[in-house]
Structure 1
Amino acid sequence: MPPLKLRHSVRAVVLDEEDRVLLCRCALPGEVVWVAPGGGVEEGESMYEALKRELHEEVGLNFDGPLLHVWQQRLIGSAYARDHDGVLNDYFLVRTSAFEPIGALSGHELAAESITAIRWWGVNEITEYRGPELFGPQNLAAALRALIVEGVPDQPVLIGR
């Protein structure tokens, strides 16, 4: 069996001073999912460069701090990345003051990337949400709680779908 061809992506767990997380609403075929900002690592880009680019484009955040690798996620299936067998997401903690998320991409460009809204969420809001939209990963609230209470892990924590 040939090795899987995975698209490498980076995502930012952007937490403000109130421990709210910044999430992007992605309207995908058949479902809507709130996910951390980020995207694919382009050829020749480091994870740091890719994350800086994605944060600037999607939410307008420019940062120069260290990347604290907190989670890793492996999703297998053709629906996760075109022309790939799945995606490998590396998540990094970015601490910042709250800000109004307005990225360099236009609303039309964001929509082309399936992003239809961006907002701050409290962990309790995620836990108590009962609407039809999903959160990615599915255990986002629990993973955030652990990150906030226990701090940055020594090794990235493997998270599920």
Structure 2
Amino acid sequence: MGTLQRITNCIVIKDQQVLLLQKPSRGWWVAPGGKMESGESIKEAVTRELREETGFEIQNPEIKGVFTIVIRDGETVVDEWMMFTFLATDIEGEMLTESPEGKLQWQDLNDVKTLPMAPGDVFIFSHILFSSETIYGTFYYTQDFELLSYQLDPVR
């Protein structure tokens, strides 16, 4: 297995809406974010990624979730990464008309769980949008992103 990827992303909430990005490959909606660069702190990484993907400068992002994502082929682990999920409610700047990563859109808070997304993300969003506790977890997926199993703490 190569180096452990580290991903940061941010759930941005404003006026009961959530800023989401629709990825062209599967049509899944995600919180904007991406891979950390060498030497970056997770806060620096999430701030940079948000700026690159949305045009917004986030102020005071708070860490709300830390997750291990494991991709398996049968019993074999083929990939594994860490994901650090932040929440921000304070943003400045103008939204990009076109994101390099897909389609940016504000979605109603209560509609988020009905959107097409990775199965584990449904759990992540439903916790972070409606609870102030930080959540930790592990998600096991197949290479086709079927959710095999997961563990969350706290369990909701």
The 1-side partners of 2:94 and 2:59 are apart by: 19
Partner of 1:45: 40
1:74 deviation in Å?
2.0
- Structure number with greater CO (CA < 8 Å, separation at least 6) is 1
Structure with the higher fraction of residues in strand conformation:
2
Partner of 2:137: 158
Partner of 1:77: 71
The 1-side partners of 2:12 and 2:3 are apart by: 28
Identity percentage over the alignment? 22
- Paired positions, count: 135
Partner of 2:151: none
Q: Unpaired segments of 5 or more residues in structure 1?
A: 79-83
The 2-side partners of 1:4 and 1:39 are apart by: 18
Aligned to 2:59, what secondary structure does the other structure show? coil
Q: Cα–Cα, structure 1 residues 41 and 139, in superposed 2: closer, same or farther, change >3 Å?
A: closer
1:138 deviation in Å?
3.8
Partner of 1:33: 28
Normalising by structure 1, report the TM-score. 0.68
The answer (yes or no) to whether the contact 1:123–1:144 under 8 Å persists in 2 is no
Partner of 1:88: 82
Q: Cα–Cα, structure 1 residues 76 and 145, in superposed 2: closer, same or farther, change >3 Å?
A: closer
Q: Unpaired segments of 5 or more residues in structure 2?
A: 73-77, 140-146, 148-156
Choose which of 18, 21, 25 in structure 1 pairs with 2:18. Answer: 21
Q: Cα–Cα, structure 1 residues 116 and 86, in superposed 2: closer, same or farther, change >3 Å?
A: same
The 1-side partners of 2:110 and 2:30 are apart by: 16
CA deviation vs aligned residue, 1:47-69 (integer Å, no higher than 9, x gap): 1111111111110111332x321
The 2-side partners of 1:123 and 1:69 are apart by: 19
